[in-house]
Structure 1
Amino acid sequence: MIIKGKVWKFGDDISTDHIAPGRYFHLRTNLPELAKHVLEDAREDFPKIVKKGDIIVAGKNFGMGSSREHAPRIIKLAGISCIIAKSFARIFYRNSINIGLPLVEIEETDEIDEGDVIEVDLRNGIVKNLTKGKTYRFNPMPDFILKIVEKGGIRNYIKEFGDYFVE
């Protein structure tokens, strides 16, 4: 699975409240409407400028805070195809995989700038910065997680294969 997109940069400790601001709690049953406010507390203009296929690159502890399942959902609905960070909050990571939003951990996120175009090879564990000609390696996703991501989330995976791992 290869993903290619333009980078939007965020720093450390981006919380689920940054992603899905609490003042829009009333929209939690209308995710397309909530997605119009994604990450606006971290960057006010983000919901208006993000495009389908774009990639978020961030620092440490992305998705920290409460276990709001709608946080990764609205990121995906906004068009983000992948998030790369130094580290992720554990529950955010699992919620993202469950909906088919791939997450990649690399230490060198500071070397990637906003506007760079990058390519992510999930199967082989490679991030290529096509703008700067640099390559970074990460531990490839296990096959069962790749299959969940490829199917667009765990629901679609279970619909197709049942609740067991298919090789």
Structure 2
Amino acid sequence: METGTIFKFHNDLDTDQIIASQYLLLPNLDEMKGHAFESLDPDFSKKVKPGDFVVGGENFGCGSSREQAPGVLKALGVQAVVAKSFARIFYRNSINIGLPVIVCKDLPDEVNTGDKMVLHMSEGTVEANGKTYSCTKLPEYMQNILNQGGLIASLNKEEK
């Protein structure tokens, strides 16, 4: 994996803070993605680059079950979301669309927005600020789902 820049957010980050409900009326993720994290960082969508990371605290992605929340992050090219813990529905929606979500208990307290990070998903580690952190290593079947672009893409490939 490549080195990316960290964009750090707080505990209990709600899906409405990722993409506010009024933008769900837009016709597609491409039009929605420019409004990601707008209430917390109005310039987030201009600053984030493909391969960057979103880092959060406890209960990342709580709130409504909108699949557009992980969808806009993937559309912006976010490489992965790393947090202390995830709301179950956000976690599931992320895997479904092929956005890696990694539980890493210690990293969020020791990094800041702008720090650089490297994710080694297959090893279950993250490197940042000269330190290596242990993270939850995804089971092989989940990594395969992510590698194929998400659950639907994976199931479609199995049918052929």
TM-score clears 0.5: yes
**C-alpha distance in 2, partners of 1:118/1:146?**
20
Query: What aligned pairs does 1:8-47 form with structure 2 within 5 A after superposition?
Result: 8-27=7-26, 29-47=27-45
Which residue of 2 is the match for residue 50 of structure 1? 48
**Among candidates 145, 149, 154, match of residue 152 of structure 1:** 149
Query: Which SS does the other structure have where 1:158 is aligned?
Result: helix
Query: Which SS does the other structure have where 2:73 is aligned?
Result: helix
**C-alpha distance in 2, partners of 1:25/1:123?**
34
TM-score (norm 1): 0.90
Say if 2:159 is the partner of 1:162: yes
**C-alpha distance in 1, partners of 2:158/2:2?**
24
C-alpha deviation, 1:110, in angstroms:
1.1
Unaligned runs of 5+ in 1: none
**C-alpha distance in 2, partners of 1:3/1:92?**
24
Unaligned runs of 5+ in 2: none
The answer (yes or no) to whether the contact 1:14–1:42 under 8 Å persists in 2 is no
Identity of aligned residues (%): 42
Once the two structures are superposed, residues 34-63 of structure 1 have per-residue CA deviations (whole angstroms, 9 ceiling, x without a partner) of 111011122221112111111011111110
**Among candidates 101, 104, 107, match of residue 102 of structure 2:** 104
TM-score (norm 2): 0.94
Paired residue total: 159
**C-alpha distance in 2, partners of 1:147/1:162?**
15
**C-alpha distance in 2, partners of 1:67/1:102?**
17
The residue type equivalent to 2:100 in the other structure is: P
Q: Could you list the runs of 4 or more consecutive aligned residues of structure 1 that deviate by over 4 angstroms after TM superposition?
A: none
